[in-house]
Chains A and B, each alone.
Chain A
Amino acid sequence: MRVKFYNIVITLLLLQGITAQVLVKGVISDEMGIPLPGASIVEQGTVNGVSSDFDGNYYIEVPQGSTLEFSFVGYGNQTFLVNESTGLDVTLFPDNELEEVVVVAFGKQTKETIVGSVAVISSESLNNQSATTITQAIQGSIPGINIINPGGIPGTNPTIRIRGIGSINAEASPLIIVDGAPFNGNLNSIAQEQVASISVLKDASSTSLYGSRGANGVIIISTKSGTKSTETSISLSSSYGNSSMATSMHKLLDINSYTRYFWEGYRNRELYENNNSPEVAASLASDNLVSSLGYNPFGVDQPVNNQGRLVASPEWNTDWKKVIINENAYKKQHGLSVAGGGEKTSFYFGSNYLKEEGQVKTTYFERIATRLKVDTQVKNFIKTGLNISYTSSKQNAPNQSGLAYSNAIQWIYSLPNYYPLYRRNNNGELVSQNGQDLILDYGGNKIQTINGVRPAFSGENAYGAIINNEILNHNNYISLNGYLKFEFLKKLSFNSQFAYENATADNFRFDNNQFGAAATVDGRVSQSRNFFKTLNAIQTLNYKNTIGIHTVKADAIFESYEFEENFFNARGTGFLPNIKVLNGSTSPESVGGSINKERLLSVVGRINYNYNRKYVFEASFRRDGSSKFSRDTRWGTFFSAGGSWVLSNENFIKNIDWINRLKLKVSYGELGNNRGIGFFPYLQVFDTGFNQLSKPGVLSLQFVDPNLSWEKTALTNIGVEFSFFENKINGSIEYYNKESIDLIYDQPLALSTGNESVKTNVGAVKNSGLEFSFKSNILSQDYFELNLGLNFSLDKNQITELTQDEFIDGNKKWQVGKSLFEFYMPKSAGVDFIDGYQMWYKDVVTDQGLRTGEQIKTKEYSEATRYYTGKSSIPAAVGGFSINSLYKNFDLSALFNFSFGSYVYDSVYANLMNGFETAASQGHPDLEKRWRKPGDITDIPLFMNGQNDFNSESTRFLFKNDYIRLRGLNIGYNFNQDWIYKLNLKKLRIFFQGDNIFTYQSHKGIDPEQALSGQTDNRSHQMKTYALGVNIQL
């Protein structure tokens, strides 16, 4: 097939042929109509050329069908195709500004000709920015992007959403393109210092070329290249920093309060639930305290007397947070890059090393990222290049979110200081091994009646899990990205690009053979490997021509894409001490593996027409065939159209001094989404592996909707770009409307059908918003420069169509007109001052089932009515604020990002407020204000050791989650040139870098960046880092 392709290209070349001579003459003038003397007129691709005379006249003879290029210093070039003898008057326009060239889908465009919404972080701002990762660079720099880093494990992929959340169960994250090819690796595997620019494509006209993958926006990352004919330069950078939690965790009870409070919870149950007299209830609580809690740090039979007072002091008081949290983590980064170029060849080489520790002890991320890029001009019409990158990373990530016993954060929030770190005997004395080594207490020592078995998390010790177990992720990523470009003519070029990715993700898990859950089987090793490779081939034909004031650009693209995933896992038990490889397993537990493949085939067309640099029109089309859909629904057609009007090139605006640039733009397009729905979502199949002893077993998988169809997104974008007062203020304002139609959703089914949900098209959701971006050059003097930037977006999410009236999923209820993210839950009605019980509101309903509109309070949680809260988990406004300043040899840059108007349901806090419902469950100091006796007015119900709903889901634990974070602060000092010249250096700079060093948050105790759903999950926090570093250029 490829051979055929080149044949066609060669045929095209021959079509040019040899033709007759024609005569062209005319006048060259500027935009005001004044003749331009000395302008040059050249037949493209030849030495045939003339100059205009004093009156701007010219005269030239050229072969028919050739192209004439008109140029004049300070003015933009123009080219015209000539087919017959003719008079041709040409108007040239001044190059009043160096037009910024922006990387867009399948190519580059000048900023002026873009009709869509493309936000760019240029290499200049990347260099000035204080960001240390790509995510940081984007977060807060570009309006309309919501980035969340859930949890504090360094090296974890962030959640990125462009312009609201357009998809729920299919993929909602943007497509990432690196140097022209789709990128499937971890975003953290790219070193920020090797990146030249980042473009974020937000609207349909800019993303429609990616068709079925473009609906959620596209992030295009271009890596650095060398420059031809420049001296080779070497840059070195190095920084070292110290990290600790960026925000504080929830406060916790001390051991004495915990013990007394638990007594009170026990007493209350005997008193109020079991109707004992106060005296009996109190003495029962004193009697049973130790047996309920299983441990006794106080050394006396009844640590709390029947008055509720402590009568002894504890022999231990375990500060689990201190045991588990790394308060003194470090982060170090070293980078080296070499770039340069000869007459025909340029190159760039970069290598970067990073090691970063996390909040929980032993957590770290270590990465080496290397990239080599070579471009060369083979012939004057052939250019080729190769870009190789290799990243290797290693991460140790002990559990620090979710509900596993060993989750270190959950442990801190669950286990009271009452329980010891090291094993104690019946009398509370430390037990040692061989008379010296202390033994970690796993709370599962059933032989011992006291201090033996913990009522919660028995058989585990989170600190033990951290130090004795390993959860290692090794990732290797290689990409080879090469191209061959033929420029047959200045007008027509053909580019063939091949990108190959090959990655290995190895997850290794060792559960210790002596301690913890796997000790009974002498340890367990679980290892899984996921090999994936992608092959992407893109053939592009570009055509560009300018005839007078008309410029036409057209692209035809043919793309094929293959993704193959090859998964393998094995698990075994029975290990000797210190052996952690599967070979050492005496008893294999399981093996598994699968291979899956996805393919995509596409044809793409784009045309861009520019009239006199005033009106730009662009249309594009893409047809995608995806192996993820059945043959009947496989092909999808996507398109977009857009236009812009550069008002500042109109005469009536040109005369207004303070307007330097003004552009209006509008675009509309329809895109699809085929990502995140599995490999074959349309097939109703039976899954193997449910074996019963030696007999193979199969089960029917989730109920499949055979009519499942493409999720489509229609995007509208209207915007204005401006630059005023000698470019001192510039920016843009854009309005977007993004409607996802035939939204794919796991719709909950009645549990009695035996299916939890069905993946189906449930309706439509609309995201709309306004995005603002302002940059201002406040001061620009010789010694002092100050630039400020502000950007933010106001976003709204609304369900516009549903296939049924409404449905409820967890704490959200979907209804037309409501947001997908509005919390729906019982409303807390406070605490009854008479008996201290929690109350909720309940609708009064008539016998006919009609609501009277009246609300009464109830103590039965199951009767409480659930209400829309008017509070959403996605923010009303997100954005950022930046400062860049230079003063003499100092430079400063700061980047803040903020989020306002979102709410978080803090289930972690709810759990800390459970009021001693179960034994061995940590509490929050806020519990001090609980109800204690009839008449107490408080929001906190009485303590109750017994199943209750006091802390069940309600508005009681729904909190506003606004925050502002100083994501990066960088202060540098550049040494004087004359001084460093003596050291043979081109540049020497020392700097301070601070990451996340300041956070304001409305709800404390959590990291403000939680999940989009607004649920906390015992996640670790992000780190704040203070680092010092140096940049050297040789």
Chain B
Amino acid sequence: MKKSFIKFSFYVAMILFSCEKDYLEEPKPSGTVNSDVIFQSKESAEAMISGILRLSRISYEKVDSGGLYSIFFARVVKGNDLILGNGWYLFDYENDNREPTYRRTTFTWEFPFTIINQINIFIDGVNTSKYLLDSEKQPLLGQAYALRAFYYFQLAMEFQNTFSFDPSLPAPPIYREPANEGKAMSSLTELYNFILEDLNYAVQFTPETRFNKSYVNRSVAFAISAKVHQVMGNWQEAASMANSAKQQYELNATQYRQGFDDMTDSEWIWAMPQQIDQSNYFDIAPHSFTDINGDGYGLAYWNRDFVDLFSDTDVRNTFNNQFEGEDETLYNTWTSSKFKFDFASDIPIIRSVEMQLIEAEAKARIGEETEAANLLFELQKNRDINATPSGNIGESLIEEILIERRKELYGEIGVEWYDAKRLRLGISRTGNHRIKSAADLQPDDKKFYLKIPQKEIDANDNIDMGINSNR
């Protein structure tokens, strides 16, 4: 009896193991793919580029921390031209949002690094792929290196004083490949060298063609290079890169009447696209915030001193006194119709006008003032039929170019903050600002950069707990 019981158990075990294989093997993941599939062909590898671009505009924690556009808009509200009502980005507007535990600090650190990690996984996958030909790998890697340089450039701008202040200062860590262990801080010199290394590759190998303007082509690589050189003060390189970047992107003044929401516009070099089923809804900046008549947050107004810079015939004069001229002292007097808000609004990242002005500034700084003035006037004439050349030279010419940058790029990339930082100037609040001198930035002010997030320090053994002292 007992023997048969043992025999029986044995049979049970036999049956069990004989059918185990099929039974437990059958469940397979659905909706995900493994890395072999991704790096098997150029087309499937491009799907990861698409994913990375999509990631750059995905909703993160809150409205004011929602993608590349929110880093740009936080820069915009730090300046003097835009006046922010009470709401999102409030503490950025007050220039008081840089402590290690704050959302701005954590987001502005985590977001570029999240993208960089995906890029590193991509680079690693392409490099080690057995299936891709070298001629296929180079254009893919070109796009990846351009993107990596772009995001490291944002980190360099946000987490330290500008390069020309002191290049030996600590800068965010450099990751050349995917890692799960935190690295030590780099220096600004190391970081900018790394960025230039990536860009050198990108301007050679990034393809000319692309699916649409949200992808990186060689023009985008040139444009990123122009911006990096501009910040580093390499004017020769900045001028030539900017010139290469703007080719094929003709000036078009009419978009100022069309809402700045369509990336197919001839001026746009690089953009974040949206469509109704791929929307960040109310979160996108600047459109949701500056379009007072739209359905978005609509709480951004314009400094009357800034409005005064525009002539009546300047197409960029999109301003309207919503109290019909009655009271210009209220902070919410001047509204702008530059950006039209919609769930499908596209968001500009780089336009050819910026390139034209980088080229003009660079030429002015290397003594080619006539060319600089011509470039400047070409733009001014395009925007205002009554424009006349100023005849400025020297510092006045450069000053005029910087003002032109503000008049052209307002709301888009935080041009005031960007220029004040790289040129080591301050920003003073004037006019009808809601928060005035309390939010001023002195030249090389610590408020120009953020502290290192506490979450990073907590989890990274190679960053000292005291990293933020004296930051």
Are A and B subunits of one complex?
yes
Residues of A within 8 A of B (CB): 1, 4-5, 8, 12, 15, 65, 81, 269, 273-274, 291-292, 294, 446, 449, 453, 455-456, 458-459, 492, 517, 519-521, 539, 541, 543, 554, 556, 558, 560, 573, 587-590, 594-599, 601, 603, 605, 625-627, 631, 634, 679-680, 683-693, 695-701, 703, 748-756, 758, 807-809, 845, 849, 861-863, 918-920, 946-947, 949, 952-953
B74 to chain A, nearest CB (A): 13
> Which B391-431 residues sit within 8 Å CB-CB of chain A?
none
B33 interface neighbour in A590, A685, A748, Cβ under 8 Å? A685
Say whether B449 faces chain A, with CB atoms less than 8 Å apart.
no
Please, what's the 1-or-0 string for B51-85, where 1 marks a CB less than 8 Å from any CB in chain A? 11111001000000000000000000000000001
20 A-B pairs besides A573-B276, A599-B23, A697-B53 with CB distance below 8 A are A291-B434, A446-B292, A455-B87, A492-B5, A520-B295, A541-B5, A541-B8, A589-B276, A599-B24, A685-B29, A685-B34, A686-B34, A699-B48, A700-B48, A748-B455, A751-B453, A754-B114, A863-B469, A919-B86, A946-B438
Interface residues of A: mostly helix, strand, loop or mixed?
mixed
CB distance from A33 to the nearest CB of B (A): 32
Contact yes or no, B50 A697, CB < 8 A:
yes
Determine whether the beta carbon of A808 is less than 8 Å from that of B29. no
Some 18 contacts from A to B, beta carbons below 8 A apart, are A459-B297, A596-B29, A679-B27, A683-B29, A685-B34, A687-B31, A688-B33, A691-B278, A692-B215, A703-B178, A749-B181, A751-B456, A754-B115, A754-B178, A756-B110, A845-B466, A862-B454, A953-B101
Complex CA distance for A492 and B1, rounded to whole angstroms: 10
A683 and B32 form a contact (CB under 8 A): yes
Q: B460: which A residues are within 8 A, CB to CB? A: 750, 752
Give the distance to chain B from A1024, nearest Cβ to Cβ, in Å: 36
Could you say which residues of chain B place their CB within 8 Å of the CB of A700? 35, 48, 117-118, 121
A residues within 8 A CB of B1?
15, 65, 81
- Verify if B459 is at the interface (C-beta below 8 Å from A): yes
Is B298 in contact with chain A by the CB < 8 A criterion? yes
Determine the chain A residues whose CB is within 8 A of the CB of B343 once the complex forms: 520-521
Could you tell me if B109 and A692 are in contact, using CB atoms closer than 8 angstroms?
no
Choice from B55, B94, B100, B172 contacting A752 with Cβ under 8 Å: B172
User: Considering residues A5, A625, A690, A952, which has the most beta carbons from chain B within 10 angstroms of its beta carbon?
Assistant: A690
Are the C-beta atoms of B19 and A627 separated by less than 8 Å? no
- Taking A589-B277, A693-B212 as contacts, is the C-beta distance between A754 and B117 under 8 angstroms? yes
* Nearest opposing residue in chain B for A598, CB measure: B27
CA distance A458 to B88 in the complex (A): 11
Assembly CA distance A599 to B26 (angstroms):
9
| Contact of A752 with B438 in the complex, beta carbons under 8 Å | no
Residue of A65, A492, A541, A952 touching B101 (CB-CB under 8 A): A952
Q: Does B9 contact A (CB under 8 A)?
A: yes
Please, how many angstroms separate the alpha-carbon atoms of A517 and B283 in the complex?
Answer: 12
Interface residues in chain B, defined as those with a beta carbon under 8 Å from any beta carbon in chain A: 1, 4-5, 8-9, 11-13, 15-16, 19-20, 23-27, 29-35, 37-38, 46-55, 58, 85-87, 90-91, 94, 96-97, 99-101, 106, 109-110, 113-118, 120-121, 172-173, 175, 178-183, 211-212, 214-215, 273, 275-278, 282, 292-293, 295, 297-299, 323, 330-332, 343, 434, 437-438, 451, 453-456, 458-460, 463, 466, 468-469
CA of A685 to CA of B180 in the docked complex: distance in angstroms? 16
- Given the interface pairs A589-B276, A749-B182, the reply to whether A918 lies near B86 with Cβ below 8 Å is yes
Complex Cα distance, B175 from A750, in Å, reads 12
User: Is the beta-carbon distance between A603 and B16 smaller than 8 angstroms?
Assistant: yes
Q: Which of A273, A449, A693 counts the most chain B CB atoms within 10 A?
A: A693
Which one of A573, A692, A752, A809 lies within 8 Å of B182 (CB-CB)?
A752
Q: Are A946 and B94 neighbours in the complex by a CB distance under 8 Å?
A: yes
B9 touches A625 (CB 8 A): no
CA distance A690 to B58 in the complex (A): 9
A81 to B438, CA, bound (A): 97
> Are B16 and A692 in contact (CB-based, < 8 A)?
no
Output the least CB separation between B35 and chain A (Å): 7
A541 to B6, CA, bound (A): 12
Q: Are A558 and B12 in contact (CB under 8 A)?
A: yes
Min distance, Cβ A786 to any Cβ of chain B, angstroms = 51
Tell which of B47, B214, B438, B468 touches A696, judged by Cβ atoms closer than 8 Å.
B47
**Inside 8 A of A626's CB, which chain B residues have their CB?**
24
Most buried by A among B53, B118, B181, B277: B277
Q: Bound state CA distance, A926 and B387, in angstroms?
A: 62
Cβ B455 vs Cβ A686 within 8 A: no
In the complex, what's the smallest C-beta–C-beta distance from A534 to chain B, in angstroms?
Answer: 13
**B329, chain A: closest CB distance, angstroms:** 11
Within 8 Å by CB of A807, from B24, B35, B48, B458, lies B458
Q: Are A862 and B451 CB-contacts (below 8 A) given A625-B24, A634-B24, A686-B35?
A: yes
What residues of chain A lie closer than 8 Å to B468, measured between beta carbons? 862
Q: Compute how far the CA of A554 lies from the CA of B453 in the bound complex, rounded to whole angstroms.
A: 60
Considering only CB atoms, which chain A residue lies closest to B342 in the complex? Answer: A520
- B106 near A751 with CB under 8 A, answer yes
Once bound together, how far apart are the Cα atoms of A750 and B115, in whole Å? 14
Q: How far is the CA of A446 from the CA of B13 in the complex (A)?
A: 74
Whether the pair B15, A4 counts as a contact (CB closer than 8 A) is yes
CB distance from B347 to the nearest CB of A (A): 13
Check A698–B48 contact: CB distance below 8 A: yes
Beta-carbon nearest neighbor of A747 in chain B: B459
User: What are the 3 closest A-B residue pairs judged by CB atoms, nearest first?
Assistant: A754-B117, A750-B182, A455-B86
Residue of B nearest to A588 (CB): B277
Query: In the complex, what residues of A have CB within 8 A of residue B110's CB?
Result: 751, 756
CB of A8 within 8 A of CB of B11, answer yes
Query: Measured between alpha carbons, how far is A605 from B179 in the docked complex, in Å?
Result: 45
Q: Which residues does chain A contribute within 8 Å of B32, judged by CB atoms?
A: 683, 685-688, 701
Inter-chain CA distance A590–B281, complex, in Å, is 13
Residue of A nearest to B185 (CB): A752
| Known A690-B50, A751-B455; contact A601-B29, beta-carbon cutoff 8 A | no
Docked pose: A981 CA to B234 CA in angstroms: 104
Partner of B38, one of A292, A605, A698: A698
User: Chain A residues near B215 (CB, 8 Å)?
Assistant: 692
State A949–B91 Cα separation when bound (angstroms). 13
A558 vs B10: C-alpha distance in the bound complex, in angstroms? 12
**Contact A449 to B114, CB < 8 A, known contacts A455-B87, A695-B46, A862-B99:** no
CB within 8 Å for A752 and B113 given contacts A274-B437, A699-B55: yes
**Residue of A683, A697, A949 contacting most chain B CB atoms (<10 Å):** A697
The minimal Cβ–Cβ distance linking B333 to chain A, given in whole angstroms, is 10
B358 to chain A, nearest CB (A): 27
Contact partner, B16, options A594, A601, A685, Cβ 8 Å = A601
User: Which residue on chain A has the smallest CB distance to residue B61?
Assistant: A403
Asked whether A692 and B53 contact (CB < 8 A) given A446-B292, A751-B453, the answer is: yes
State how many angstroms separate the Cβ of A904 from the closest Cβ of chain B.
Answer: 20
Given A520-B295, A688-B33, A693 and B455 contact (CB-CB distance below 8 Å) = no
Give the residue of B8, B15, B116, B282 whose beta carbon is less than 8 angstroms from that of A754: B116
Q: Which of chain B's residues have a CB closer than 8 A to the CB of A686?
A: 32-35, 37-38, 48, 51
